[in-house]
A and B are shown apart, each in its own frame.
Chain A
Amino acid sequence: DVKVTQSSRYLVKRTGEKVFLECVQDMDHENMFWYRQDPGLGLRLIYFSYDVKMKEKGDIPEGYSVSREKKERFSLILESASTNQTSMYLCASSPPGLAGAHEQFFGPGTRLTVL
């Protein structure tokens, strides 16, 4: 089974702090994704990486950056956390190819609260 793990289930940070959210997958997938989930808004894509050191902005990249130094690990960085970044953050991975026919595999999520 594919396993996607996220470094924390719950995280509380203060405004202005730099925050790192880590995601690791064990199935050698090229694609990795970071989403945020908010009630009534569904999942919104923050960043997408299709290979090591390759990244692409999603729909809501402002205030976030990412790092993909190794294939299995995809980090989301909040350079200066703000209260409007309080949310559930979900990481996912998928194999490439078949032009998007593969499903994505999700981690358990990190619920981030910024005070």
Chain B
Amino acid sequence: AQSVAQPEDQVNVAEGNPLTVKCTYSVSGNPYLFWYVQYPNRGLQFLLKYITGDNLVKGSYGFEAEFNKSQTSFHLKKPSALVSDSALYFCAVRAYNTDKLIFGTGTRLQVFP
């Protein structure tokens, strides 16, 4: 069965420190992986995706993610967190051979000043 897991409900980090939001996946075939961010009372905004190529993917707002095939992970990272990064983050994987996405349960990132 295809699935995506976000093992942490919440991640707390101090402003200026590096942040990591974890995501692991289980899929058939080649994984297409996505990160989205949701600010309060808003829809989801696309951050970045991995389809093929370089394992390190750069996205919006200074975020990046590293695809690790052996660990079946796609962790979201940022070198220096901002208070404005506080939001709900979703990892998603394409369902095999379709245009549908399977979403994780989300991780709330709280950046403290």
Contacts and interface: CB of A to CB of B under 8 A. Distances in A.
Q: Report if A and B associate in a common complex.
A: yes
Interface of B is mostly: loop
A106 B45 contact: yes
Contacts of A40: 9, 105
A100 B49 contact: no
A64 interface: no
Q: Chain B contact residues (Cβ within 8 angstroms of A): what range?
A: 20 to 34
A61 B5 CA distance: 23
B101 interface: yes
A33 B100 contact: yes
A43 B99 contact: no
A9 B37 CA distance: 19
A71 to B, nearest CB: 15
Interface of B: 9, 32, 34, 36, 41-46, 49, 51, 90, 94-95, 97-101, 103-106
Interface of A: 4, 9, 31, 33, 35, 40-45, 48, 50, 58, 90, 92, 94, 96, 98-109, 111
